[in-house]
Amino acid sequence: MEFSDIETLVENGVDQISITSEGLASSRERAAQFLVIQATLTTYQKQVGEEVAKFSALRDATFADSIGKTEGKNVTEKKIKVAKDENYASAEKKCEELKSLQEWVKGHIKIFENAHILYRGLSRE
């Protein structure tokens, strides 16, 4: 799954959350739709989690390699120099971006869980 597909899914899903007369009339269908969105986001969350693990390992390996090659009087001085290493900085940035994406997905899973509960309740009335 690509992020652009997930982003479109989320945007369209968020548009369906507001309660309208049309939404009330199709509350069962909307409740089901929100479950499908949650399932899709959960699958994507797993994919992102695997990427986080991959880039965390790459970041750690880059750090270890770089600190081994760095000259310095002590560990702190070496760490400061490693932080300036472009490869390490790039791997760290990618890691943080993926973790941020992971949190974004988690937040939207929760939003659609609540939307499902809302429309499930409305369908019973």
Whether 4 maps to a domain, the answer reads no
63, 69, 71, 112 from 75: Cα distances, Å: 12, 12, 10, 47
Per-residue pLDDT of the chain (125 residues; tens, 9 = 90+): 899 999 999 999 999 999 988 888 999 999 999 999 999 999 999 999 999 999 999 989 988 888 777 777 787 777 777 777 888 888 899 999 999 999 999 999 999 999 999 999 998 87
Instruction: Give exposure, 45-64, as e/b (b: 16+ Cβ within 10 Å).
Output: beebeebbeebbebbeebbe
Whether 37 maps to a domain, the answer reads yes
Q: Record the pTM.
A: 0.84
Question: Do 44 and 1 touch, CB atoms closer than 8 A?
Answer: yes
Whether 33 maps to a domain, the answer reads yes
Whether 79 maps to a domain, the answer reads yes
Whether 95 maps to a domain, the answer reads yes
Whether 15 maps to a domain, the answer reads no
Considering its fold, how many domains does the chain have in total? Answer: 1
Residue in this structure with the two tokens 């929100």, named with its chain if needed: 34
Q: Which stretches of 1-125 are DSSP H helices?
A: 3-15, 21-25, 27-69, 75-83, 86-124
What's the pLDDT at 3?
95
**What tokens does 9 get?**
């899914």
Whether 1 maps to a domain, the answer reads no
**What tokens does 102 get?**
């992971």
Q: Could you list the residue range(s) of the whole structural domain that residue 76 is in?
A: 20-124
Residue in this structure with the two tokens 């009087």, named with its chain if needed: 73
Whether 107 maps to a domain, the answer reads yes
In this structure, is the dihedral angle defined by the CA atoms of residues 105, 110, 114 and 116, taken in order, positive or negative? positive
